[in-house]
Structure 1
Amino acid sequence: MNNTKKEIQQYLLSKEENFSKPVKRRKQQSKKRFPSHLEEFATYLEKSGYSEAGLLIRKRRVMMFFRELEKISNLKINCLEDCKGITETCLKKYETHLEYRYSLKEISARTVYGYISYVKLFLDYLYMRNIINFEYIIPRKFIVPPTRSNDFVDAKSIMTLFDSVLNRKSEIKYRNIAILLIILDTGCRPVEISSIKLNDLNLTEKTIIVYSFKSGQRKLTLTDGKIIPYLKMYLQIRKDFDSTSDYLFLNETGEGITSSSITNMIFKENLKAFGKGKVNAKALRHTYTTNAVENKNDLKEISAALGHKHLVSTMHYLHRSKQRLISNTLPYDPLIAALKEDNNAD
């Protein structure tokens, strides 16, 4: 077994006392409602196959766009008719605002691209409805190509993060730790975790069913027994949410948590643990994959668990895993050092 995984399992064993602590009851919170023009937009997107969680994040991002427009252009949008006031000049100001936030390192280039992509989706809807008379094109400078990396997280950093989460006074820590453990144990993407419904979790079989547009649906086994107790404690808390949602993981307003909310939650937990962003969902997913590769699991099985459509995507991790092992080993290998000396002598 990989040392990283073994260290984390031993760490979880030392946290047994958390499973027997009483769970505090939470105050009920009213469910946030969106204005009718955003619900119309969501209905339009729903016909294109967007999930409930996907619709929620898009409505939130457009609401954020409205708030920014009011600040930078004095344009207040209360109904669809008000959207006629959105001009190309307004959008230039919005782009400049995002660039300024990026220059202050408040947001990343990928986040800027994400925000603009959500706005474009809404603007396309307005154009289709003849509410605006121009088609918005995302400027090339904002387009961020997808990156491929293999950010392996060491056991010490993961345990520091877990300790910070468990030391919180809020009972929501059980939801957060369960999400982190699932990502680390299965390699799920945040968008897939946001798709899990109550009926998709089988505590007896220790399995979950996840879905994403990219990878479709798949059933995964929760191999680490310590995930189940944290899930059970979260389920106790979940009963106190003022919610009719059938999604497993909820946000504080009782709605299904979105992938963006999961990303933000992990970032906030990082700030408390390290004072900066250090361990993100992508890094935990890559750590799961690297552990699986280094434990000599079947590559086809790893690929299926990750939801990779092509084996070449999984082979990328094998290549990066070998590079990491070599870089960690070579400086301490006397045989390699001797070979280097011989080569230098030649």
Structure 2
Amino acid sequence: MKVSIVGVTGYSGLELVRLLNNHPNVTIVSVHATRDIGQKLSNIYSYLKGVCDLPIEVFDSQAIMAKSDLVFFATPSGVAKELSADFVKADFPVIDLSGDHRLPAETYQKWYGKEPAEQEILNQFTYGLTDFTYVAGKKWIANPGCYATATSMALIPLIQAQAIDLKSIIVDAKSGLTGAGKVLSESSHFVNVHDNYVTYKVNRHQHIPEIVQTLKQFDSQLDHIQFSTSLLPVNRGIMATCYVQLKEGVTEDDIKQAYQKAYADKPFVRLQSSLPELHNVISSNFTDIGFAYNSVTNILTVVSVIDNLVKGAAGQAMQNMNLMFGFEETAGFMRIPSYL
């Protein structure tokens, strides 16, 4: 299958190049960006020499559709919503890694502060949380956000099992710096991040409505969660630490069974006997989940870790592609995490 990548010079775009290059059924035939047009991608990023020597092309929807079978958008929020309509109207498959097609128009405008895509276009997209969404045969996928993926994966089994007080959910999520994107800012400057720990966007992060929207599918009575985000002085990885109160009569064994039932046939979810750590998932598509119960407070702590650029972005996008087109779900993936 032939694919194109729009937004190839961002972190997620480059991660798509890395992953798709290892896929046995895929060839990258074009890469697109808004700068360095005509330059070989490998001239800009020398680690790609001999791996992806394609020239960077200006975006042209007709040219992409003429040479490809699928287009990935790895663009900043606010871009894909302007460019996706041509593909949808032409019945051409799209996987959008940005937030532009995840939320209803009114919600998107409130939380992203941008004009939304046309509702007619938004209605065509399926939210592709791969472990809980059937995407086989779908053509237009809104790939979930990184915080949303880690948090939803931690909480869905508990909500499915009706094991927790829905009003008790508190999430403390932490991300490596690549989660903030490549645009330089005061918050990502080395001297402000190195040997530091910064909490940001408390109650304001744009993934909050995405998480609530997803969790409501499993219990419509859920209205909100308490959610905070922090930056870790590491390159990549997300750790979502979730605190919930168990309903009366729910035991640790009930919790264990809920997770085993939810993830029994999921190749990229690993249930750990202890609380997981970031190093165990770096550069992989795995989600590692573990929990600990405090019988004194009746609080369950659940920790979910992912690589924000893989399972939180490019990896889940490729997993969605595999399921959409009938490839083996693990095709192109099964490598040991880098750990160090």
Is TM > 0.5 for Structure 1 vs Structure 2? no
Larger relative contact order (C-alpha < 8 A, sep ≥ 6)?
Answer: 1
Using structure 1 for the length normalisation, give the TM-score: 0.29
Q: TM-score, normalised by structure 2?
A: 0.29
* Greater per-residue helix proportion: 1
Q: Identify, as 1 or 2, the structure richer in strand.
A: 2
Larger-gyration structure (1/2): 1
